[in-house]
Amino acid sequence: MDPALDATDRKILSELVANARLPITELARRVGLSKTPVAARIKAMEEMGLITGYRAILSPLKLGMTHVTYLEVRLSDTRERALAAFNAAVRAIEEVEECYMIAGGFDYLLKVRSRDMADYRRIMGEKISALPHVHATSSYVAMEAVVEQSWMSL
């Protein structure tokens, strides 16, 4: 966290992370300032790129996307052009919830969300296997989400 942020900025961020739809008057009351300085602080944090947007967080479970698989991907080519091609293509697969380039025994770690095993098999066969430069994959099915957060506490 940027050390230039004071305790009030941190309180504002914490409240916004918990509920970005909180009215500015209520947010101001919770952090102990009036509306104008709170609005100015929020605007400054948006302009510095600390706050990058506001969005609705949907429940994958309520949408029927109850199956989570983590997938190790090894590429046949790891030169910059191949990595760029893989990155662009994997971003287009809506079922890929997260994708990280990894330093280790494989190249990428994907979090894939699907309806069930049959749906995962379809995604794997039609989409992931067709990604550029995929050499090998290993799948790990999640049995239960013990901790699952979409935000970081301050």
Write out the DSSP string of 19-67.
Answer: -TT--HHHHHHHHTS-HHHHHHHHHHHHHTTSS--------TTTTT--E
- 116 and 96 in a common domain: yes
Beta bridge partners of 110: 71, 99
Give CA–CA dist 119/136, Å, rounded. 20
What single-letter amino acid sits at 108? Y
Residue 136's nearest CA partner among 113, 102, 106 is 106
- 74 and 117 in a common domain: yes
**What is the CATH classification number for the domain harbouring 133?**
3.30.70.920
- 92 and 24 in a common domain: no
Q: Is the pLDDT of residue 150 over 70?
A: no
Q: pLDDT digits over 9-18, tens only?
A: 999 999 999 8
Residue 93's nearest CA partner among 114, 77, 115, 75 is 114
Residue 112's nearest CA partner among 132, 135, 137, 76 is 137
Question: What domain range includes position 87?
Answer: 60-142
Q: pLDDT digits over 57-103, tens only?
A: 888 889 999 999 999 999 999 999 999 999 999 999 999 999 999 99
- 111 and 85 in a common domain: yes
Give CA–CA dist 51/154, Å, rounded. 13
Strand order in the sheet with 108-114: 96-101, 108-114, 67-75, 134-141
- 44 and 105 in a common domain: no
Q: pLDDT digits over 100-135, tens only?
A: 999 999 999 999 999 999 999 999 999 999 999 999
Distance from chain centroid for Cα 129: 22
